[in-house]
């Protein structure tokens, strides 16, 4: 399941430019530059209600258990799934982590 990703944020672009400048000025070598960029600081994708429900069903948990995993309420998960609300902040990061790495990553 792939979620839509946003374009690179201004902050991420500034970080990339700073890394390039550090390399150009000799403060870091090419290897360190690649290692830093390998951290892949991409914006976290947004998840639609259907994607959240599919993810929850993929990990085979109820809305209540899913809410507990994401440190939120069951009513919030319900609202996400019907599209009434959108996850943000730490909840969005945990959703993305759960999507990419699986249930063990958030337990």
The string of DSSP codes covering 48-102 is -HHHHHHHHHHTT--HHHHHHHTTS-HHHHHHHHHTSS---HHHHHHHHHHHHH-
Q: Does 1 map to a domain?
A: no
If asked whether residues 37 and 65 sit together in one domain, one would say no
With bands split at pLDDT 50, 70 and 90, how would you rate the model's confidence at 81?
very high
Between 58 and 107, the more confident residue is 58
Q: Does 77 map to a domain?
A: yes
CA trace torsion 80, 83, 89, 94 (10° rounding): 40
Q: What pLDDT does 60 receive?
A: 96
Q: What pLDDT does 39 receive?
A: 79
**Total tally of structural domains belonging to the chain:** 2
Q: Does 92 map to a domain?
A: yes
With bands split at pLDDT 50, 70 and 90, how would you rate the model's confidence at 13?
confident
Q: Which domain holds residue 92?
A: 49-105
If asked whether residues 56 and 95 sit together in one domain, one would say yes
If asked whether residues 54 and 97 sit together in one domain, one would say yes
Q: Does 2 map to a domain?
A: no
pTM (two decimals): 0.67
């Amino acid at each position: 399941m792939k979620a839509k990703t946003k374009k690179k944020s201004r902050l991420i672009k500034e970080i990339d430019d700073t890394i390039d400048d550090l390399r150009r000025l000799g403060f870091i070598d090419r290897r360190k530059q690649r290692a830093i960029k390998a951290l892949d600081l991409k914006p976290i994708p947004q998840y639609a209600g259907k994607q959240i429900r599919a993810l929850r069903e993929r990990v085979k948990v109820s809305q209540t258990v899913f809410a507990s995993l994401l440190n939120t309420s069951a009513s919030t998960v319900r609202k996400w799934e019907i599209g009434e609300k959108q996850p943000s902040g730490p909840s969005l990061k945990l959703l993305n982590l759960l999507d990419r790495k699986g249930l063990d990553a958030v337990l």
